[in-house]
Amino acid sequence: MVQIKRMQQDGTDIIIPVGEIDAASSIELDLTIAKSISEGNTRILIDCTGLEYISSAGLGVFMSYIEEMQDKNIRMVLFGLHHKVANTFNILGLNRLLTIVQTKEEALQAVKA
């Protein structure tokens, strides 16, 4: 059960998932990121402040874009992760594959670099 909003800010596409991402709702996240990429966005922020839970399938979505984004030179930064959600990323080792920061300001900085 996740609601995903999107907004544009300074040429950066911000994706805001609110709720929980499990196997079923991960498809929605997948579609949203795919759409953002197909629209030609090269700077994507994932605002995780409203994300309460993410399952392995949800993590798989982020993971599946890592190589494509590297190839297309797209930068994706996650920010505002709850402690528990961050822990899930860390356990899987995704923290070393994705750029994860604390605040939106940091994220906007990171995505421009």
Among 2, 94, 107, 108, binds another protein (CB under 8 A): 94
**CA atoms of 39 and 27, how far apart (whole Å):** 18
96 binds another protein (CB under 8 A): yes
Among 31-39, 51-59, 74-82, 103-111, the segment contacting another protein (CB under 8 A): 51-59
Among 94, 101, 90, 87, which residue's Cα sits nearest to residue 45? 101
Q: Is 64 in the site for another protein (CB under 8 A)?
A: yes
Give the rounded distance of the alpha carbon of 14 from its chain centre. Answer: 9
63 binds another protein, rule: CB under 8 A: yes
User: How would you classify the pairing of strands 43-47 and 51-54?
Assistant: unpaired
Binding site for another protein (CB under 8 A): 23, 30, 55-57, 59-61, 63-64, 66-67, 91-94, 96-97
